[in-house]
Amino acid sequence: MNTKEKSLKKTEKEKTTEKVEVLKVEKKTLTEKNENGSNDSKEISLEKKKVKKIRKQILKGRATIKCSYNNTLVSISDLNGNVLGWASSGLLGFKGAKKATPYAATQVVANVSEKVKKYGVKELEVFVKGVGSGREASIRTLAGNGFDLSLIKDITPIPHNGCRPKKPRRI
């Protein structure tokens, strides 16, 4: 299979179908004066079209949750890695220490799941990264929003005695 055939297959997969509806047909008459002094009239019909895009239905997706001490980020993508929707607690208007709360994490997941519902996602693989307080709350909210969680995996990076860590805060 050559590169042209591959690119054709990719474009066929990525296409979304479009539905065109004709809303209104208006007829207007234009009158113009000739050089002779007589009036010429032309009829022009104008159509207003509404293009409706039908999204491709994606049944299985991948949710990546990053919970740090300062923020919570959630993104949901299809299995190829194309992002369908994302949100963070800072994006939703939480400021300062409130961004790292479990309540903010539930609001972030609710926002993302609302965006992704229009794609028809039913089943999710969940990957959690970080040690923040919104980890459990975000997973519970995903399950509560009607998604079937097929996999929950912790992908927090753990060093095997690599770089020296930051000094701990003394409060």
Judge if pTM exceeds 0.85. Answer: no
| Residues across the chain | 171
Task: Please state the rounded mean pLDDT for residues 77-86.
Answer: 96
Q: Which of 18-32, 58-72, 80-94, 140-154 has the lowest mean pLDDT?
A: 18-32
Q: What share of the chain is helix, strand, coil (3-state, %, to 5)?
A: 25, 40, 35
Domain 60-154 of CATH type 3.30.420.80: yes
Per-residue pLDDT for 6 more than 70? Answer: no
Q: Are 14 and 49 in contact (CB under 8 A)?
A: no
pLDDT for 56 equals 82
Per-residue pLDDT for 104 more than 60? Answer: yes
Contacts of 158 (CB under 8 A, 6+ apart): none
Per-residue pLDDT for 16 more than 60? Answer: no
Burial class (CB in 10 A: 0-12, 13-18, 19+), 35: exposed
Nearest-CA neighbor of 145 among 102, 115, 101?
A: 115
Per-residue pLDDT for 14 more than 50? Answer: no
Q: Which of 1-10, 29-38, 79-88 has the lowest mean pLDDT?
A: 1-10
Give the chain's mean pLDDT: 85
**Domain extents for the chain?**
18-54, 60-154
Using one digit for the tens of pLDDT, what is the confidence trace for 41-57?
677 766 666 776 777 88
Contacts of 22 (CB under 8 A, 6+ apart): 47, 48, 49
Can you say whether residue 97 is alpha, beta or left, with left for phi > 0 and alpha for psi between -120 and 50 degrees?
alpha
Share of the chain above pLDDT 70, in %: 71
Share of the chain above pLDDT 90, in %: 64
CB atoms inside a 10 Å sphere around CB 104: 25
Per-residue pLDDT for 1 more than 60? Answer: no
Measuring CA to CA, how many Å separate 138 from each of 20, 81, 146?
39, 20, 13
